[in-house]
Chains A and B, each alone.
Chain A
Amino acid sequence: MNALIEFVQFLKVNKKLWLGPLIFVAALVGLLLLLAPGSEVAPFTYAIF
């Protein structure tokens, strides 16, 4: 959680808040592809975690 707050602050300080939606949507899509029923990506997450 702290890392997330720090990251938002980093964007704020560097005036890059407009990147927020891009990062949020990219993270959301990644998560959805992992959680989707019948996901073809899910089996590969074992190797990562």
Chain B
Amino acid sequence: MTKKINMKLFAAAASLASLSVALLAAELVVRIAAPAYDPSTLLRFHYDPVLRITLGPPDTVIRNPSNVADGSVPVAFNHLGFRDSREVGDMGPDDWFALGDSLSFGWGVPVEDGVVARVERLIGSKIYNMSIPGAATEWPRRIRYAIDSGARPRRFLIFHSMGLLAKREPVVPAKTSPFTLSEVKRRLKTHSILYRLIASVVKDHPLWEVKAAAWGLVQAKPHTDRRAAFESCLRTVKSLASTVPETVVVMLPSPELWRGSGEVDELYRDYLLSLKTAGIETVDLRPDFEAGGDPIEYFFTFKNDDGHWNVAGHALAAEVVARYLLNRKAVTGAGL
């Protein structure tokens, strides 16, 4: 009897040891075969619970494996946690203050290839880029944070993506025990390449994602009431435009517009119209993206639903925005 129990215990221990060895080997193999999923090189933003804004890791240079399959790009953050290396305190009265999310942040592209740096070169005026992934409702606090650091924004250049209409500020989790499921998941997310690979594969297949969410393995995509988000974004932009009259909003079309979502198409048109009705200067990039025939070619295709521009997308966007700003100067006499 005892011998039988010992045998069973031995078998269980051997299986456990085998599983541990297999998982360790798998971590190693994935690190070699798919380095893009390495969590230690993952560009991570944090939501500061005191400032209530999203920021990058201050004074850090990190290689962003990004959403491009053909390499990674270095991303440097300044001491404030923004990608712009310059000191915001040096901002002059004619300089622009750019706001936006991951698109104008330059997700997946070198900083000099991003839309903001390109516009700056084309118009010859400084644009301080305070873009970072985060909800539009954070913008007033982001501006306050920059002002407290010496910035004097007198002109806003807002790069308004459609993603902002579905983005909410994160809920700061309460401190939990290190042994809760959410804490274990958080640790796996930041340390295990195998976990990241599994999560990416599941999330890349919508049907699997739904199934995994139903089983409680992954968090279901929060259903965002886009109309409610629409109103809060619009309120934020209107409030900024009323504080700083020289505000230009660049509307960034989402690839969802061409992937058959009628709802997004309607939102886009409504939002643009609402901005114009409110007397806010707008630049619509959609016609220029559609002029080439296939707008999707301006977006990364590494993930099925990626809404970030590739280098060609940034170049086209910058060309249109710079053209607008240069014409604006010619017509109204406004400075650049």
Question: A residues engaging B (CB < 8 A)?
Answer: 17-22, 24-26, 28-29, 32-33, 35-41
For the complex of A and B, 9 pairs with smallest distance between CB atoms? A25-B22, A21-B19, A18-B14, A38-B69, A38-B302, A22-B22, A37-B204, A21-B18, A18-B18
A40 touches B194 (CB 8 A): no
Report how far A25 CA is from B16 CA in the complex, Å.
13
**A17 CA / B19 CA spacing, docked (Å):** 11
Task: List, in ascending order, chain B residues with CB within 8 A of A19's CB.
Answer: 18
Is B34 interfacial (CB-CB < 8 Å)? Answer: yes
Is there an interface contact between B29 and A29, defined as CB atoms closer than 8 Å?
A: yes
* 6 other A-B residue contacts (CB within 8 Å) besides A20-B18, A29-B29, A32-B198: A18-B17, A26-B25, A35-B205, A37-B201, A39-B34, A40-B34
Interface membership of B26, Cβ < 8 A: yes
Distance, CA A32 to CA B187, complexed state (A) = 21
B positions within 8 Å CB-CB of A = 11, 14-15, 17-19, 21-23, 25-26, 29-30, 33-34, 36-37, 67, 69, 194, 197-198, 200-201, 204-205, 302-304
Residue contact B26 to A37, C-beta cutoff 8 Å: no
Q: How far is A29 from B33 in the complex, measured between Cα atoms in Å?
A: 10
List B contacts of A37 (CB < 8 A).
Answer: 200-201, 204, 302-304
Taken together as a complex, chains A and B put the C-alpha atoms of A40 and B71 apart, in Å, by 12
Q: How many A-B residue pairs have CB under 8 A?
A: 66
Interface centre among A18, A19, A24 (most CB of B within 10 A): A18
How far, in Å, is A30 (CB) from chain B's closest CB? 9
Q: Are A22 and B33 in contact (CB under 8 A)?
A: no
Q: How far is the CA of A28 from the CA of B11 in the complex (A)?
A: 22
For chain A, what secondary structure do more than half of its interface residues adopt (helix, strand, loop), or is it mixed? helix
Q: What CA separation (Å) do A37 and B34 show in the bound complex? A: 10
Question: Shortest Cβ distance from A26 into chain B, in angstroms?
Answer: 7
Query: Of B11, B21, B69, B201, which one neighbours A32 at CB under 8 angstroms?
Result: B201
Q: Which residues of A contact B37 (CB under 8 A)?
A: 36
* Whole-angstrom CA separation of A30 from B296 in the bound complex: 30
Are A40 and B69 in touch, CB under 8 angstroms?
yes
Most buried by B among A29, A35, A39: A29
Contact B26 A36 (CB under 8 A): no
In the complex, what distance in Å separates the CA atom of A39 from the CA atom of B204?
12
Q: Chain B residues with Cβ under 8 A from A17's Cβ?
A: 11, 15
Contact of B26 among A29, A35, A38 (CB under 8 A): A29
Are A21 and B34 closer than 8 Å at their CB atoms? no
A48 to B26, CA, bound (A): 23
Contact indicator B201/A18 (Cβ below 8 Å): no
User: Closest Cβ of chain B: how far from A11's Cβ, in Å?
Assistant: 11
11 A-B pairs within 8 Å (CB atoms) are namely A17-B11, A18-B11, A18-B18, A19-B18, A20-B18, A26-B22, A32-B30, A36-B204, A37-B204, A38-B302, A40-B69
**Least CB distance, A36 to chain B, in whole angstroms:** 6
B271, chain A: closest CB distance, angstroms: 29
Enumerate chain A residues within 8 angstroms of B25, measured Cβ to Cβ. 25-26
Measured CA separation A4–B21 after assembly (Å) = 22
Chain B residues lying within 8 Å of A21, measured Cβ to Cβ, are 15, 18-19, 22
Q: Which listed residue, A18, A25, A39, touches B23 by the CB 8 Å rule?
A: A25
Contacts of B23 in A (CB 8 A): 25
Q: Do residues A22 and B34 form an inter-chain contact, with CB atoms below 8 A?
A: no
B18 contacts A22, C-beta separation under 8 Å: yes
Q: A26-B22, A29-B26, A29-B194 are in contact. Are A41 and B33 (CB under 8 A)?
A: yes
Task: Flag if A18 contacts B15 (CB, 8 Å).
Answer: yes
